Amino acid sequence: MVAVNFKTASIPKVDFIAVGARILLGLVFIASGKTCFSARMVLFVDATELITGILLLMNRFVPLALVVFAAVLTNIFIFHITMMPAVLPAPLFLTILWFIVAWPLRSHFAPLLVQKT
């Protein structure tokens, strides 16, 4: 029998906001990637959205999914700035969600910014 001291036992802290944002971001990109699969011109982008959405929902390779997703999100953001500024709140919302998910994982992105000599 193992004795547990409940006064010193630590409860793992879960950042519910980041988890909720990750799930919402994954759902948005699964829906986006799945519905736009009919157009051949954006087949690669839709497949990328679908794969990154699945990775975010499965909580697997989240830093990799966020890096790939950042490129897709940049293209979405630039498209809406130049072509459809009336719908600009949607990519702004996705960008905010991206930062909420990426902020707790910022230590995983630091090696990407290290200059090799």
pTM: 0.78
Distance CA 103, CA 14 (A): 14
Question: What percent of the chain shows pLDDT beyond 70?
Answer: 82
Cα 84 to chain centroid, rounded: 23
Structure token digits, residue 43: 């087949």
- The domain of 69 spans 17-104
Domain assignment present for residue 9? The answer is no
| Residue 113 counted as domain residue | no
Q: 10: which DSSP letter?
A: P
Residue 12 falls inside a structural domain:
no
Domain assignment present for 3? no
pLDDT in tens, 69-116: 999 999 988 989 999 899 899 999 999 999 999 999 989 988 888 888
Q: How far apart are the first and last CA of the chain?
A: 55
**Is 93 among the domain residues?**
yes
* Number of compact structural domains in the chain: 1
Kindly state whether residue 60 falls inside one of the protein's structural domains: yes
Whether 110 maps to a domain, the answer reads no
